[in-house]
Structure 1
């Protein structure tokens, strides 16, 4: 299975915000840190806000932050939001529609995929590999790593 670019952007943004938990980050900062398109990231952030993963604050000193602690946000939740939890394939124009044995197999594979992603929280992913947290903290504004506190 291949994730959409929106899922990729969403996971990067969420990990960035988990590393900088406790402070608002401007979307432009996240886009710069990951070298992403700011306009595409804005769409992703809006979807994550609508889905309850992020919260946003408007205004000059506004930005986005996790809506809940990173230890409570599962990777599968983010991917489901971005992938719209629709079918893996479009069977509407298929000759075998309604008579295909692949539908069940694909549904089981998709369920197993999400069950695997649901095992991991943002906080766990941040600490799964040495250096991940430090890289994300270093990508923030000057002094951000000092603001983050002990991990």
Structure 2
């Protein structure tokens, strides 16, 4: 399983916000610290806001912060929200009518499909057992946190 760049950057943005819990942050800060396009980060932040993972405060003194406590944001929930399709093979896609894909003669009792489904379940079980708070240790805080009082 390989996560999309969108999910990767979404997780990074959340780690940044969790590392700076005592102040509002800006999209520009997040984009600069990770070397990501600011325009792309706008799209990611918008999507995270739709999911309730972050809160945006408008206005002159506005900015971004987590939408709920870091210890209540499960990594698996973020990945499920940001990934359009977590199917490992085409026959695992929800609502798949196999258009453009040769029909599988083994469906629905394919052992490979069941094995891959089990592996995907194990992958998400690990991600569901970790929260955003688990992703923010001393090193993350040291490398990502800006001094309080710094205006974004």
Secondary structure in 1 matching 2:52: coil
| Distance (Å, rounded) in 1 between the aligned partners of 2:123 and 2:85 | 12
Question: 2:56–2:64: 8 Å Cα contact kept in structure 1?
Answer: yes
* Paired position in structure 2 for 1:135: 143
Show CA shifts across 1:75-129 (max 9, x none): 11111111135422323213316353322222211111111011111111112xx
Number of residue equivalences: 140
Work out whether residues 25 and 63 of structure 2, in 8 Å CA contact, stay in contact via their aligned partners in 1: yes
Structure 1 match to 2:114:
104
Structure 1: segments with no counterpart, 5+ residues: none
Whole-Å separation in 1 of the counterparts to 2:102 and 2:39:
35
SS in 2 for 1:102: helix
Q: Which entry has the higher C-alpha Rg, 1 or 2?
A: 2
Give me the TM-score of the superposition, normalised by structure 2.
Answer: 0.82
Secondary structure in structure 1 of the residue aligned to 2:90: coil
CA distance in 2, matches of 1:94, 1:46: 37
Where does 1:63-82 land on structure 2 (aligned, <5 Å)?
63-82=63-82
Q: CA separation of 1:38/1:116 partners in 2, compared to 1, >3 Å: closer, same or farther? A: same
Q: Considering only aligned residues, what root-mean-square deviation do their CA atoms show, in Å?
A: 2.0
* TM-score where L is the length of structure 1: 0.82
The alpha carbon displacement at 1:47 in A equals: 1.2
**Which stretch shifts more, 96-105 or 114-123?**
96-105
Matches of 2:115 and 2:46 in 1, distance apart? 33
Q: CA separation in 2, counterparts of 1:103 and 1:47?
A: 31
